[in-house]
């Protein structure tokens, strides 16, 4: 889970901006190396949208080029967007509905048989709250990884914030804004999302 008050630490001058990002330090998203990766990901997302949905093999080939890793039979509907692509790792049976956004400034790990509803966002990046720190010539930001367990269902229009971990078999209700970790086998809903019930005997407290 993202710290309640993030510490905006800077890396040393020997680190690249990508290394700072991966280490959880302040980094500049406008760095040429990061921008090159971003442009590559955006181009692949456009190629993905240009392939008819019925061409599953063609779409899967693009996904495997775009993602850091993917298990068996990944399916992503039209309108998918991501930031870098290389930081997205999905397990077997991944399904992503229309117009999903994964802002993968850092690692996004998704388990097996995860379903993501339409118009859902997973965002790893965040910015300083203080305007002086946020609005400067470098435009530095920070990123926290997102981890989603196995057999998770994320309803349409949900927003998963930086640093969140979602346990196995959890359900995220449509429109939920998730700012805290979600225990395994629970259903969360609301803004901000809260646990509404425990699902199944295997997860009973």
User: Residue 176 has what DSSP assignment?
Assistant: -
Task: Indicate if 127 belongs to the active site.
Answer: yes
Catalytic: which of 42, 89, 127, 180?
127
Neighbours of 57 (CB within 10 A): 7
CA 83 to chain centre: 9
**Maximum pairwise Cα distance, the chain:** 54
Rounded-to-integer distance, Cα 183 and Cα 109, Å: 16
Neighbours of 124 (CB within 10 A): 27
The structure tokens 């901000």 sit at 192
So which residues are the catalytic ones?
127
């Amino acid at each position: 889970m993202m710290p309640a008050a993030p510490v905006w630490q800077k890396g040393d001058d020997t680190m690249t901006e990508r290394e700072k990002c991966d280490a959880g330090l302040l980094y500049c998203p406008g760095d040429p190396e990061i921008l090159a990766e971003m442009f590559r990901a955006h181009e692949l997302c456009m190629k993905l949208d240009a392939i008819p949905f019925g061409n599953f093999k063609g779409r899967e080939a693009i996904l495997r080029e775009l993602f850091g890793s993917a298990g068996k039979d990944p399916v992503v509907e039209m309108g998918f967007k991501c930031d870098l692509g290389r930081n997205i790792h999905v397990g077997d049976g991944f399904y992503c509905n229309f117009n999903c956004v994964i802002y993968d400034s850092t690692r996004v790990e998704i388990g097996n048989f995860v379903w993501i509803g339409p118009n859902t966002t997973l965002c790893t990046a965040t910015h300083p709250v203080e305007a002086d720190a946020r609005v400067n010539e470098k435009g530095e930001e920070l990123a926290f990884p997102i981890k989603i367990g196995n057999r998770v269902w994320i309803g349409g229009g949900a927003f998963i914030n930086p640093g969140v971990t979602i346990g196995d078999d959890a359900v995220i209700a449509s429109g939920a804004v998730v700012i805290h970790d979600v225990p395994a086998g629970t259903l969360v809903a609301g803004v901000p999302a809260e646990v509404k019930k425990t699902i199944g005997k295997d997860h009973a407290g």
